[in-house]
Structure 1
Amino acid sequence: MSRAPYLVFEDPDLPERSLRVLVAANLYPHEGAENYGTFVRDEVGALRRLGVGVDVFYVNGRASRLNYFRAAPAYLRRTRARGYQLVHAHHTLTGPMARLERRLPLVITFHGSEVAESYTAPLSRLLARLADGRIATSRWVESRLGRPADAIVPPGVDFDLFRPADRDESRRALGLPLDRKLVLFVGLDRPDKRVFVIERAVESLRADGIPADLLRVTDKRHEEIPPYMNAADVLVLVSEAEGSPMVIKEAMGCNLPIVSGDMGDIREVIEGTAGCFLCDKSVEGTAAAIRKALDFGRRTDGRPRVMHLSLEESAKKVRAVYERVLERRGKR
């Protein structure tokens, strides 16, 4: 992972574009952290394919919170460098630095748990007032901002990457056993993800004679994840809080059964899909829901239910927010 305070990723086609945007983000894949913020990179790519010129200013808050201050002078110089018409900040912690630029309109995407936790909750509400445009990834996120969002835009899914494949063939390719029930966790193994709950739930199932194993996928590149989803029997997510978690929509794209807490937009994404279950996030409740998913015993029909959540559709909604904000500011 880079220790630099910031990194810049330029769009070579930006000078020729009629709409030119600087994305400020504290999540973006880079050397040594190729999986970090892939959903931001994917959105940037989709916007570029729509003809929007997009440069990315990545502030390395992961290495040090002081980098938000260290990067600020370079950020302000960058905003004057390439004829940008708008700044789009991702995540609450990037917002204060992004708002230092007052000439350009600011759109902020509020992603998830930052709107409800610790000091970032009131900071999110303040930034929602200061921003020219607000994007929330779910209705739950919007409800915590204190004012309406310009759009609800869940991060889009690359359905060419996340698509169904044969379970046994996927297991053979990964060297996984064919005779075990595989309970999948995908994501960063942080305390707020509460993986210990999934561990204990799986242990309780084994104590009841169910041949279940927890399959953790925490250090794979984004493009390496689909085979694990196609090899697993169920995906489980019981975090403290989520906004619009990519892993749920990606699992739906692979027709993988799901067990999850009722967080963010998860209910509306999986509701009505046989083989997908909400739980109360306790060990007992999680174990009971996993048992139901394993008893379901087949793939879901989740993919056609989430195709409207593609990268392309999400990027169109983001571009529409840009255009409305620029019209309100008289910049177009």
Structure 2
Amino acid sequence: MTKNLLVICNNFPDRENIYIGGIFIKEQVKHLRSFFDNIYVISPVPYGIEYVRKIKQEDYIFENIHVYFLKYLNFPVFYSYGRKNWIYLEKRAIIKKIQKEGLKFDLIHAHYTWPSGAVSIELKKKFNVPVTITEHTSVTFKKAIENKDPIFIKSWKSCDAIIRIRKGDIKFFDSVGISLNKVHYIPNGFDHNKFMALDGPRCKEKLNLPINNKKILLNVGNMYDEIKGHKYLIEAINEVKKHRKDVLCIIIGTGKLRKNLEKQIRTMGLENEMKLVGRKTHEEIPIWMNACDIFILPSLKEGNPTVLPECLACGKPFIGTRVGGIPEIITSEEYGLLCEPANSRYLSENILTALDRVWNEEKIRSYAENFSWQNIASDILKVYEIAKRDFNEK
């Protein structure tokens, strides 16, 4: 008897990982593939989205993973208003695709409750298979709980298992009538075949970075809104500059706020201390991480950022904010330093402290192994078994 998994997600990378939206889902799927005959990934792409993403996404296959970018007609306004219409249009398109390709599957894993989870509940009715939903968001999750969002609650009640990437959020499901027995904590992970210790000076040389006379600070985070805290990082570097002249902060990412951040850097006279290097592929990120001395993530809100275990896997200390699932990973100052968000003064103090400290990179890498995708995949498989058991008992 075949064992096939259907993954539904509205963001998924292209073959070459030029577009990296949902890269953590792709990494997770790659480490689940050996446990299934086939994994089918359907990533619905409403007409017009590719223009926004600035990339054309084509179907592809790697190993036993079949990726379908489902082009279909939907209307942006339905994403926030008239959501039942969005669900109907996406569900209809997915069912047609499943039937056209002759896909057979035993389990559905939806990433994000909205819209993938809500749509997957409709697919459950059609195909009579269990559904697991992973809820990744931070702000959206909080609003759904506070507003008792009916679509979120219906999806959670109707699915067979829920994975939450932040342990501290699990208690909130109870407040909207969801049994905590069906909610499981599993954080995001890293690929130990990509994120590992590399020769730092050689990585710096490859990236044309100073090898001996600069301390390299690294941030990876897109600039689509202010939630990643870039503004406070720039302010913090301005303060660090008053105490040290050997710091170079690199920011990887792109987005609509880039021009504003470049202006802030110029206004503060930090052109020599900060460099915005744009988007980099997921394959390039380990080189940048190994070239840095400290990794910084000053987010205002977070779920469970994948860059966190990735930087630890490279042996780099993490400097960031006490938000989302970050304090659940950085449980000791042996791995990094945390402060409250939106506070550039405390962030700068953490950076200065970190620069003066001798870090045990081997100990950091050893700790990171707890979050390897191999271990995470094992935990996910256990949830799948629980979901199937509960589904069959209903």
- 8 A contact 1:150–1:321 mirrored in 2: no
Judged with a 3 Å threshold, the aligned counterparts in structure 2 of structure 1 residues 157 and 229 are, in CA distance, closer, same or farther, namely: same
Q: Which has the larger radius of gyration?
A: 2
Q: Letter of the 2:105 partner, please give it.
A: Y
Q: Does 1:285 align with 2:285?
A: no
1:90-169 counterparts in 2 under 5 A? 90-93=111-114, 94-101=116-123, 102=125, 103-118=128-143, 122-123=148-149, 124-146=152-174, 147=178, 148=180, 149-169=182-202
Match of residue 270 from structure 2: none
Look up the SS of the partner of 2:5 in the other structure: strand
Q: CA deviation at 1:298?
A: 4.2
Counterparts of 1:47 and 1:275 in 2: how far apart (Å)? 28
1:147-178 per-residue CA deviation (whole Å, 9 max, x = no partner) reads: 42442111221012111123222111100123
Counterparts of 2:163 and 2:98 in 1: how far apart (Å)? 21
- 8 A contact 1:182–1:233 mirrored in 2: yes
Judged with a 3 Å threshold, the aligned counterparts in structure 2 of structure 1 residues 325 and 118 are, in CA distance, closer, same or farther, namely: closer
Which sections of structure 2, spanning at least 5 residues, go unmatched?
53-74, 80-85, 254-278
Match of residue 253 from structure 1: 313
Q: Letter of the 1:212 partner, please give it.
A: V
197, 221, 224: which one aligns with 2:281: 221
Match of residue 257 from structure 2: none
Counterparts of 2:328 and 2:165 in 1: how far apart (Å)? 13
Identity, in percent, stands at: 23
- 8 A contact 1:112–1:242 mirrored in 2: yes
For these two proteins, the number of residue pairs brought into alignment is 316
Q: CA deviation at 1:130?
A: 2.6
- 8 A contact 1:194–1:239 mirrored in 2: yes
Counterparts of 2:194 and 2:134 in 1: how far apart (Å)? 24
RMSD, matched Cα: 2.5
TM-score (norm 2): 0.73
Match of residue 219 from structure 2: 185
Counterparts of 2:248 and 2:173 in 1: how far apart (Å)? 39
Q: Letter of the 1:104 partner, please give it.
A: V
- 8 A contact 1:275–1:296 mirrored in 2: no
- Runs of 4 or more consecutive aligned structure 1 residues displaced over 6 Å after TM superposition: none
Match of residue 2 from structure 2: 18
Match of residue 229 from structure 2: 194
Q: Letter of the 1:100 partner, please give it.
A: E
Q: CA deviation at 1:269?
A: 1.8
Match of residue 376 from structure 2: 314
Which sections of structure 1, spanning at least 5 residues, go unmatched?
1-16
TM-score (norm 1): 0.86
